[in-house]
Amino acid sequence: MPQIIKQIIMQRSVIYIFLISLLASCAKGRYTSTNKVYKQQVKAFSKTIRQYPIKDSFNTSSEWVGTTNFGMRKPNFVIIHHTAQISCEQTLQTFTLKRTQVSAHYVICRDGTIQHMLNDYLRAWHAGNSRWGNLTDVNSSSIGIELDNNGFEPFAEAQINSLVTLLSYLKKAHGIPIANFIGHSDIAPTRKNDPNVTFPWKELAQKGFGLWYDDTSKVSLPPEFDDLDALRIIGYDIRDSSAAIRAFKRHFEQQDSSSVIDERDKKILYNLARKYR
């Protein structure tokens, strides 16, 4: 066989092997390495859970007795966010970079695709410095859902449909109370404004995810009514009352340009506070 032909065959073989390797690499997925880190961290957590409480400093008994009555810690709240990023792919990358120190259990893309990024029983880093009622460690008792949205646009119909499907599952699977479906701005009014004012809270409440107020046209406010106390009863952190009022209006009135409570607001607050008691 002429040398030139051998060289051509060899070159083609090298190219063929390269293409096969490239295709194999693509088949594994771009998140193969971060998925490996996920599995390693879960394995480390499971090792900790498997440790028996024998040698801790509080066990003064000579005999260890393990209770037979226990279970996994379970989420009791769902916190809804918008990503404030330009694409679902950007958010997925953000949540797979350790340096960002942020995450969520679910990401819902504009086309309705649901990405389940973290086991529901594990603690995501989505709520940050937040408070709802007396609850100050929201991450430890909640599931975080991020909706792909730049922070200003309306939410896509396919996205909301997928959200409703997901919420239905979570409500049933974890026994989450109706009142405990809330937004990021509700629990962090001084820092956050998500989900934005276009989010359909009323529609969700009608489906059983979150509370909503009734017709207030015939509401008569008692003389002792205190609007800030009503905000506190609902769950808002009222240490910064202006921020709490804006968060309330963003959620229940789809506007957040005012921090002044008017007569209509008071009637809504009165109606809601009675539901949250």
Residues annotated as catalytic (active site), given as ranges: 146
Residue in this structure with the two tokens 């209770």, named with its chain if needed: 67
pLDDT in tens, 165-191: 999 999 999 999 999 999 999 999 999
If we measure between CA atoms, which residue out of 148, 238, 150 comes closest to residue 246? 238
pLDDT in tens, 226-245: 999 999 999 999 999 999 99
The residue count for the chain: 277
Give the model's pLDDT for residue 28: 62
If we measure between CA atoms, which residue out of 71, 81, 75, 72 comes closest to residue 170? 75
Other Cβ atoms less than 10 A from the Cβ of 236: the count is 26
- Residue 213, pLDDT > 70, answer yes
The mean-pLDDT minimum among 4-8, 95-99, 130-134 falls in 4-8
Give the model's pLDDT for residue 46: 87
If we measure between CA atoms, which residue out of 203, 221, 199 comes closest to residue 212? 203
- What is the token pair recorded at 136? 């100050």
Nearby residues of 106 by Cβ (< 8 Å), 6 or more positions away? 114, 115, 116, 117, 143, 144, 145, 146, 166
Higher pLDDT, 173 or 14: 173
